[in-house]
Homo-oligomer: A and B are copies of this chain.
Amino acid sequence: MTHPLRLDPDRYFPSDATQRQIAGELFAHVETLPIVSPHGHTDPAWFAKNAPFEDAVSLLLWPDHYLLRMLMSVGVTLESIGIAPNDDAEYEKDRRVVWRRFAEHYRVFRATPSRLWLDHTFATVFGLDVRLEAATADLYYDTIKAKLAEPEFRPRALYERFNIEVIATTDTAIDPLHDHRAIRESGWGGRVIPTFRPDEVLDPDHADFFSSLEQLAILTGENVETWPGYLAALANRRAYFREHGATATDHGHATARTCCLGLGEAKQLYDRILLNRKNEGDGELFRAHMLIEMAKMSCDDGMVMQLHAGPWRNHNLQLYRRFGWHKGGDVPTATDYVHGLKPLLDKYGNDPKLTLILFTLDETAYSRELAPLAGIYPAVKLGPPWWFHDSPDGMLRFRRATTDTAGFYNTAGFNDDTRAFFSIPARHDLARRMDCVYLAELVATHRLEMEEAAELARDLAYNLAKRTYRL
């Protein structure tokens, strides 16, 4: 026995008739707007090479750490779904068997955003009309395999079908951006731009720090063994990224700490790091100082600065040791923005040249720290609910907690932040609907007029992302 898969046209809207009606009217204004995706993790090689995707397992399951983590948490081992460990333990090699295992456990995703995104993808991209479960696993596997072989399912065709206006990838500071160059030179009309993410070269505790520095020297011709040379190399790479279309940088830090060292102190700290004579705390100090250097460079070159603070990467140690990064083993930590960002904001918080977009995994910061900071510092804007909070309830909590103090116009619009290319329409559909739900609540309770809500719906779905990211 199977179950139908259908996307209700009123999905996510409240059941209250008044609000549902208003939400639907508002959504009609934004449903077909082009997708602006200013922050995410798609692979530029897809668009450069335009090769077909392989199958459901390698496309939809393996790269999606939301799926891996939930499956693990209910006792499904990664080996059993085909992920090879670093040791020589057995793992499942038959992808059809892997997909069946996933299908059998699909119920554990009930009411999670993963389920909503996947169902939307299955229905709208692949035309499936029955739910994924044990009984339909093979149908899914075969259908998806067949579709992926069609030309309409190549990356560029999907980019167009998804109505994407611009999409940003995320790239290390030492990425040569060959794929971005190839896309540009191909004559194809899609706009795929890089984002400058220099974590490896800013974080002396990163395993790849020294090798990345070497690469940085090679790519820029700067002498990174001196502090001025290091800064010049970074500025050089930022310029290179801008030449390739980048408008933004992105910084993934465990904390929001910033610190403004004097020139002498900064030099000495850099020397200690290069000589492998770090004192305790030097790593954190360097990262803290470098955020301010990055803000300074953003004032100079106009790149929008994003800060994703708070995750404890690879908290699940055994998982990390056996399977490496990006398997879902990260967890959030409490994050202090009010103290952490003070040194940066003292210098650049009021500078009209800086745009600093903040993200958090700690929802308690929404009303206590982030909305108040965005509501007073011209530089600060709030990124959309991130990661664990990118869900219907998470989005409503974000709006309800930030709008009183920061309003709508200090928020940065939506970004999908995903490597799951096929789910991008689902994610924007969900975000647009939830913003309409929030707006409908305001209109229905006479806190906002309908004509204002309609303008806001378009701003939140499209205009704010373009404007904030200077696209």
Is there a chain B Cβ closer than 8 Å to A410's Cβ?
yes
Is there a chain B Cβ closer than 8 Å to A168's Cβ?
no
In the complex, the answer to whether B369 meets A332 with C-beta atoms within 8 Å is yes
Q: Which residue of B lies closest to A351 (CB)?
A: B318
A11-B446, A15-B445, A346-B318 known; A389-B376 Cβ under 8 A: no
In the complex, the answer to whether A392 meets B447 with C-beta atoms within 8 Å is yes
Considering the chains assembled together, what is the distance between the CA atoms of A199 and B453 in angstroms? Answer: 43
In the complex, the answer to whether B389 meets A393 with C-beta atoms within 8 Å is no
In the complex, the answer to whether B318 meets A350 with C-beta atoms within 8 Å is yes
Q: Which residue of B lies closest to A316 (CB)?
A: B376
Complex contacts, A400 vs chain B, CB 8 Å: 393, 397
Complex contacts, A352 vs chain B, CB 8 Å: 75
In the complex, the answer to whether A111 meets B407 with C-beta atoms within 8 Å is yes
Stretch at the interface among A40-48, A89-97, A240-248, A334-342: A334-342
Complex contacts, A401 vs chain B, CB 8 Å: 393
Q: Which residue of B lies closest to A371 (CB)?
A: B388
Considering the chains assembled together, what is the distance between the CA atoms of A388 and B404 in angstroms? Answer: 7
Q: How far, in Å, is A66 (CB) from chain B's closest CB?
A: 9
Which residues 366-416 in A have Cβ within 8 Å of B in the complex? 367-369, 371-378, 380, 388-389, 391-394, 397, 400-401, 403-410
Is there a chain B Cβ closer than 8 Å to A448's Cβ?
yes
Complex contacts, A18 vs chain B, CB 8 Å: 15
We find that the number of chain A residues with CB closer than 8 angstroms to chain B is 91
In the complex, the answer to whether B447 meets A116 with C-beta atoms within 8 Å is yes
A367-B389, A404-B388, A409-B108 known; A451-B3 Cβ under 8 A: yes
In the complex, the answer to whether B388 meets A372 with C-beta atoms within 8 Å is yes
Stretch at the interface among A137-145, A260-268, A298-306, A356-364: A356-364
Considering the chains assembled together, what is the distance between the CA atoms of A323 and B430 in angstroms? Answer: 43
Considering the chains assembled together, what is the distance between the CA atoms of A350 and B332 in angstroms? Answer: 19
Complex contacts, A397 vs chain B, CB 8 Å: 400
The interface bits of chain A over 6-28 (1 if a CB of B lies within 8 angstroms of the residue's CB, else 0) are: 01101111111011000000000
Q: Which listed residue (B345, B363, B405) contacts A388, Cβ 8 A?
A: B405
In the complex, the answer to whether A328 meets B376 with C-beta atoms within 8 Å is yes
In the complex, the answer to whether A12 meets B405 with C-beta atoms within 8 Å is no
In the complex, the answer to whether A312 meets B332 with C-beta atoms within 8 Å is no
In the complex, the answer to whether B406 meets A110 with C-beta atoms within 8 Å is no
Complex contacts, A70 vs chain B, CB 8 Å: 375, 407
14 contacts between A and B (CB under 8 A): A11-B447, A12-B446, A15-B18, A15-B445, A110-B456, A111-B407, A111-B442, A111-B447, A111-B448, A317-B346, A364-B368, A367-B394, A391-B404, A393-B401
| Other 13 A-B pairs with CB < 8 A, given A333-B338, A388-B404, A393-B404 | A11-B446, A16-B16, A70-B407, A75-B352, A111-B408, A111-B442, A315-B373, A332-B338, A332-B372, A333-B369, A364-B364, A367-B394, A371-B388
The 7 closest A-B pairs by CB, nearest first: A15-B444, A11-B446, A15-B18, A8-B446, A391-B404, A331-B372, A69-B376
